[in-house]
Amino acid sequence: MKYQHLCVLGLSLLLTSGCSDAPQDNGVANKTGAIAPGTGTQYLTSSEPAAVMEVADARKSAKADEAIAIVGRIGGSEEPFVDGVAAFTVVDLKIAHCSADEGCPTPWDYCCTQDQVKDNIAIVKLVDAEGKPVTDDARKLLGVKELSVVVAEGTARRDESGNLTVAATKIFVRPVK
Amino acid sequence: MLLPWEYSVRNLSRRPVRTGLTLMALSIVILLVFVVVGFIRGLERSLRVTGDPDVVLISSINSEANLESSAIPARTPTLIAASIDGTQSRYGVICASPEMYLGTRVTVSDREPAPGLIRAVTTAAPLVRRSVRIEEGHWPDRGEVLVGRLASAKLGMTDEAVAIGQTLTFEGQTWKISGRFTADGAAYESEIWCNLEDFQSATKRQDLSLVALLLKPSASPGEVSLFCKERMDLELRAVRETDFYAELQQHYRPVRLLAWTVVVMVAGAGIFAGLNMMYGAVAGRIREIATLQAIGYRRRAILFSLIQEGVLLSATSSLISGVIALALLNGVAVRFTMGAFTLRIDGPAILIGCGTGLLLGVFGALPPALKALRSSVAVSLKAV
Amino acid sequence: MAIVELKNVCRSFRKGEETITPLDDVTLEIHEGDFVSLMGPSGTGKSTLLNLVAGIDRPDSGSITVAGTEITNLSRGQLADWRAANLGYIFQTHNLIPVLTAYENVELPTLLLKQTAAQRRQRVELALKAVGLSDRADHYPRQLSGGQEQRVGIARAIVANPRVVVADEPTGSLDAATSEQIQDLLQRLNRELGMTVLMVTHDREVAGIATRRLILNRGKFLPS
Ligand SMILES: Nc1ncnc2c1ncn2[C@@H]1O[C@H](COP(=O)(O)OP(=O)(O)O)[C@@H](O)[C@H]1O
Ligand SMILES: [Mg+2]
């Protein structure tokens, strides 16, 4: 084996000039237009549940293993959907997000209001009848995308840091006005 | 109807010095092409083989592709062990490797310090990094380090300088080399591995750069991603290791683009060498070419013969360079910012190198041949 | 029957502003088995005429029929094939390919014919024998004398058994003794093999071996 040290045509010099981080297309076919209805009809309800809590209130009052229904807007980071499981983060409706026409390619990351997101976010993970996480893509299953407003019905899970997870069995998608 | 093959072959020996010089020039050009293509192939392979599809890396959310800038809480591995069922266990140990990863200046004996890559690990590391094998020596005890096969290349030193028993200095501490490891060409081979606790105390840091998890084949990385989202306060990010290195490949795209540009430019220079020779060769043969046409050879046949001549020369050059590349370039270690890797003259590299060589012959011969064949036979017959 | 027939052939060249017309409405018939010599002052268009007959140049107007083919309308490729089958060209300087041996030089035209290797070898050997160079077959042109080179050139012109042989000052660059050899050879080709020869020369003595003598001047044939 040879260990000679070639400086190949100064190629390595070029490494410092990285490429700019262009926003990646995260696979949402049409960001503004209509989306196909979800295929997971067993998880979808057509009527909104009665007692719905805002995300911020739920984070304050919800107890572990309590039945709960929360409403929020899908977002909170550049990639609010979790790859490989039907789960996503929702942000309290009171928090403002920037809009696409302000020139923000990913308005759902709440880049202008990130500091408020921390206390107004919850994660919704879809579980099946046995309580196991569903492994299909939530976007396809529920017919939702970033910034969709959803109501998630299920069981609250809490941890010592105050994070709120809703293990949801039913999702209601609020129609776009 | 074609001209006899001997015509092309013997024409090459008509001006032996010129042909020899062109042969050399073309060989050098093709060798350069081999170097660059070998470089690209080596880089791609290094990144490709490093990723393990069953391994998930957990780093901080803002670190992107740069693990050195990642900082995650030290308790992350414990939390993961408690929350994620999908992690493999071996010999009763959960396959979760907490690691610190840092590029820092490393001094070998009394030499100038050089940038090296340090990975501080626990004994869980080899459970997750399954390609790692200790070639000689033993797993580092406190104050010791294990050096990768290409660490010397990364540091710009000889193998002897980082032999077992030698010492290295980094982060204000001196470390004894306890062994050498290989990793089937993975990027770790250019790293220096040391004990995590030692390194934490040397750097006065408590956090980790990343945790690498080996998942059960049945488990989904989605579970880990979900955990990272749920524990929002920890600001973690999970990415499958193969995806991580695929992303790194994207980061190196400008480098590869530049490398291909170099290939094209070098090949362009090669075409000029070929053109120079063939213009010279054809210019002195104007009357001869007209004679062949007067005898009844079609222009196509003469063109073919001239190209054959160029290709014969460039094919010989390709052969020479190919042999040199295989004998001297293949496996040579190259230093690079992300580490070190070895040039790789594999099938595709040979194909590209030799293909470029043959094209040099064709494109070097084509313009002079066309020029010679364009003028009228009657006029060319009067040429001196 | 005429084997070469030129009808009202014109050929002119532009040289800057000036137009030179070496061949102005030339009409000529050559019969099979003729040995025609063509004389005339330098620059009158003898070579131009020869090249037109050989199909390596085209007239501006008029028609040229050689060996039964009207060649003025053939494409470049068709002309090449036609030359291979019907025409032998003897150059002033032999124009041998320096990297090929005498044998290989003579073999070149036969490679364009549909023949077996054995037939080809027989022809080449015959042609070399006809010019008296069988023992020089493996010599390269640089190993031959000027006269021998020209004889190899002649062997190459006749090897494919062409209907018409054209020769442009074939003795022009040879000494008197060698020139005589070549004249002899050309005469034998015509007499013994019955080849039709059109030969350009500026030497009255060389022209003497021909059966028919033409003189070209200012674009026209003079009665000789
Ligand atoms: N390709 C050409 N371009 C321009 N002028 C030409 C060309 N070929 C021949 N000529 C001119 O035509 C005339 C006849 O030329 P040529 O047939 O070679 O004369 P000859 O063979 O009788 O000495 C000369 O004046 C010559 O300069
Ligand atoms: Mg002339």
Give B152's contacts in chain A (Cβ within 8 Å): 3
> Which A residues, 10 through 49, put their C-beta within 8 Å of a C-beta on chain B?
11-12, 14-19, 21
Check C100 against B287: CB less than 8 A apart. Answer: no
CA of B258 vs chain A CAs: smallest distance (Å) = 8
The per-residue pLDDT for range B87-99, each reduced to its tens digit, is: 888 888 888 999 9
Q: What is the pLDDT of residues C14-31, one digit of tens each?
A: 888 899 888 988 999 999
pTM assigned to the model: 0.73
Give pLDDT tens digits for B175-229: 999 999 999 888 889 999 999 999 999 999 999 999 999 998 888 888 888 888 8
Residue indicated by tokens 């809590």? A53
Nearest to B357, CA basis, from B334, B323, B327 = B323
CA distance A4 to chain B (A): 6
| CB proximity B16 to C under 8 Å | no
* Residue indicated by tokens 């270690």: B333
C19: exposed, middle or buried (Cβ count in 10 Å: 0-12, 13-18, 19+): exposed
Determine the Cα–Cα distance for residues B81 and B87; give it in Å rounded to an integer. 8
pLDDT greater than 70 at residue A136: yes
Mean pLDDT within C195-218: 90
| Ligand 1 centroid from CA C198, angstroms | 18
Question: Taking Cα atoms as reference points, which of C64, C61, C26, C30 lies closest to residue C46?
Answer: C26
Q: How far apart are CA B25 and CA A159, in angstroms?
A: 70
User: What 8-state DSSP symbol labels residue A147?
Assistant: T
Q: Mean pLDDT across the stretch A28-45?
A: 65
User: Ligand 1: residues within 6 Å at CB?
Assistant: B 379; C 13, 15, 20, 22, 40, 42-48
**Residues in chain A within 8 Å Cβ distance of B225:** 82-85
Whether residue B224 contacts residue B83, with contact meaning beta carbons closer than 8 Å, is answered with: no
Percentage of chain A beyond pLDDT 90 is 18
Average pLDDT over residues A45-58: 87
For residue C46, the ligand 1 atom closest to its alpha carbon is 22
Which residues lie across from B24 on neighbouring strands?
Answer: none
Report the residue of chain B nearest A79, measured CA to CA.
B229
Tokens of B188: 């770790």
- Can you give the residue ranges of every domain in chain B? 5-48+252-380, 55-216
Sign (positive or negative) of CA dihedral B118, B124, B130, B131: positive
Scored b (16 or more CB within 10 A) or e, A79-116 reads: bbbbbbbbbbbbbbeebebbeeeeebebbbbbeeeeeb
pLDDT computed for residue B67 by the predictor:
83
- List the residue whose alpha carbon is closest to atom 14 of ligand 1: C45
Question: Which amino acid, one-letter code, is at B203?
Answer: T
pLDDT digits (tens, 9 = 90+) for C153-189: 999 999 999 999 999 999 888 888 889 988 998 999 8
- Tens digit of pLDDT for each residue in B133-190? 999 999 999 999 999 999 998 888 888 888 999 999 999 999 999 999 999 888 889 9
Atom 2 (ligand 1) nearest CA: C13
Per DSSP, what are the bridge partners of residue B191? Answer: B117
CATH topology of domain C2-222: Rossmann fold (3.40.50)
Q: Do chains A and C meet with 3 or more Cβ pairs nearer than 8 Å?
A: no
In degrees rounded to 5, what are phi and psi of residue A59? -60, -35
CB-CB contact of B222 with B239 (8 Å): no
> Which among B3, B6, B298 is the nearest to C80, CB-wise?
B298
Is pLDDT of A8 > 50?
Answer: no
Q: Is the pLDDT of residue B64 over 80?
A: no
B58-80 mean pLDDT:
85
Cα angle A64, A69, A72; round to 5: 110
Q: Is the pLDDT of residue A130 over 50?
A: yes
User: H or E element: which one contains C64?
Assistant: strand C61-66
User: DSSP assignment, residue A19?
Assistant: P
CA atoms within a 13 Å half-sphere pointing along the CA-CB vector of B71: 5
CA angle, corner A157, sides to A153 and A160, nearest 5? 150
CA of C49 to the centre of ligand 1 (A): 10
Distance, CA C175 to ligand 2 centroid (Å)? Answer: 19
Nearest one of B237, B183, B246, B249 to B210, comparing CA atoms: B237
**Cross-chain CB nearest to B297 (options C87, C89, C112):** C112
pLDDT tens for each residue of B236-291? 888 888 888 888 888 888 888 998 898 899 888 888 888 888 888 888 889 999 99
Q: Which ligand is nearest to the CA of C45?
A: 1
State both tokens at A102.
């302000």
pLDDT higher than threshold 80 for residue B15? yes
Q: Which residues are placed with Cβ below 5 angstroms of ligand 2, an ion?
A: C 47
β-pairing, B144-148 vs B191-195, is antiparallel
* Partner-chain contact C80 B381, CB within 8 Å: no
DSSP state of A113: G
Distance CA A88, CA A145 (A): 10
Atom 7 in ligand 1: which residue has the minimum CA distance?
C13
Element (H, E) at C9: strand C2-15
Residue of C nearest to B377 (CA): C56
Q: Report the range out of A2-6, B91-95, C120-124, C220-224 with the highest average pLDDT.
A: C120-124
What are the phi and psi torsion angles at B95 (to 5°)?
A: -80, 70
Q: Looking at the CA of C92, which ligand is closest?
A: 2
3-state secondary structure of A164: strand
Nearest protein Cα to ligand 1, atom 20: C43
Q: Mutation test of the interface with chain B: which of C11, C56, C103, choosing the one with the most B Cβ atoms within 10 A? A: C56
> In terms of DSSP bridges, do strands A53-54 and A67-74 run parallel, antiparallel, or are they unpaired?
parallel
Q: Report residue B318: phi and psi, to 5°.
A: -60, -40
Q: At B53, list the tokens.
A: 């599809």
Portion of chain B with pLDDT greater than 90, in percent: 42
- SS3 per-residue string spanning chain B: CCCCHHHHHHHHCCCHHHHHHHHHHHHHHHHHHHHHHHHHHHHHHHHHHHCCCCEEEEEECCCCCCHHHCCECCCHHHHHHHHCCCECEECCEECEEEEEEEEEEEEECCCCCEEEEEEEECCCHHHHCCCCEEEEECCCCCCEEEEECCHHHHHCCCCHHHCCCCEEEECCEEEEEEEEEECCCCHHHHEEEEEHHHHHHHHCCCCECEEEEEECCCCCHHHHHHHHHHCHHHCEEEEEHHHHHHHHHHHCHHHHHHHHHHHHHHHHHHHHHHHHHHHHHHHCCHHHHHHHHHHCCCHHHHHHHHHHHHHHHHHHHHHHHHHHHHHHHCCCEEEECCEEEECCCCHHHHHHHHHHHHHHHHHHHHHHHHHHHHCCHHHHCCCC
Compute the distance between CA of residue B112 and CA of residue B156 in angstroms, rounded to an integer: 10
- Cα separation, B229 vs A86, in Å, equals 12
Residues 6 or more apart whose Cβ sits within 8 Å of residue B263: B33, B36, B37, B352, B356
- pLDDT higher than 90, residue A100: no
CA of B369 from ligand 2 middle (Å) equals 27
C58 contacts C72 by C-beta, under 8 angstroms: yes
Interface contact A9-B262, CB threshold 8 A:
yes
- ipTM entry: 0.94
C51–B299 CB contact, under 8 Å: no
Query: How many Å lie between the centroid of ligand 2 and the Cα of residue C15?
Result: 17
**What are the pLDDT digits (tens) for C22-80?**
898 899 999 999 999 999 988 889 999 999 999 999 999 999 999 999 999 999 999 99
**pLDDT exceeds cutoff 60 at A11:** no
Mutation probe of ligand 1 site: the residue of C12, C19, C42, C44 with most atoms within 8 A of C-beta: C44
Per the CB < 8 A criterion, the answer to whether C165 and C88 are in contact is: yes
Question: Domain locations in chain A?
Answer: 2-173
Cβ neighbors of C180 (< 8 A, separation 6 or more) are none
> Looking at CA atoms only, how far is residue B377 from chain C in angstroms?
6
Percent of chain A clearing pLDDT 70 (strictly above) = 77
Residues 62-121 of C with CB under 8 A from B: 76-77, 80-85, 87, 89, 91, 95, 97-100, 104, 107-109, 111-112
Q: Residue holding tokens 């060996």?
A: C67
Report d(CA B54, CA B171) in Å as an integer. 33
Query: Which residues, 6+ apart, have CB-to-CB distance to A171 below 8 Å?
Result: A43, A44, A45, A124, A126, A142, A144, A150, A151, A152, A153
The 10s digit of each residue's pLDDT in B282-313 is 888 899 999 999 999 999 999 999 999 999 99
**CA distance linking residue B100 with residue B212, whole number of Å:** 11
What's the pLDDT at A35? 65
Question: How confident is the model at residue C153, as a pLDDT?
Answer: 94
Nearest Cα residue in chain A from B154 = A5
CA gap B258, B214 in Å, rounded: 36
Ligand located closest to B378 CA: 1
Label residue C224 by pLDDT band (50, 70, 90): low
CB-CB contact of A85 with B225 (8 Å):
yes
Residue B46's Cβ-side half-sphere holds a number of Cα atoms within 13 Å equal to 26
From 2.40.50.140, 3.40.50.1820, 2.40.160.100, 3.40.50.300, which CATH number describes the A2-173 domain? 2.40.50.140
- pLDDT, one tens digit per residue, over C98-149 is 999 999 999 999 999 998 999 999 999 999 999 999 999 999 999 999 899 9
Q: Cβ distance C149 to C141 under 8 Å?
A: yes
Chains that touch B (3 or more CB pairs under 8 A): A, C
Residue A143 to residue B381: CA distance in whole angstroms: 80
B327-370 tens-digit pLDDT: 998 888 888 777 788 888 889 999 999 999 999 899 999 999 99
Cα of C22 vs centre of ligand 1, distance in Å, is 7
Substitution site in C12, C14, C20 for ligand 1 pocket (most atoms within 8 Å of beta carbon) = C20
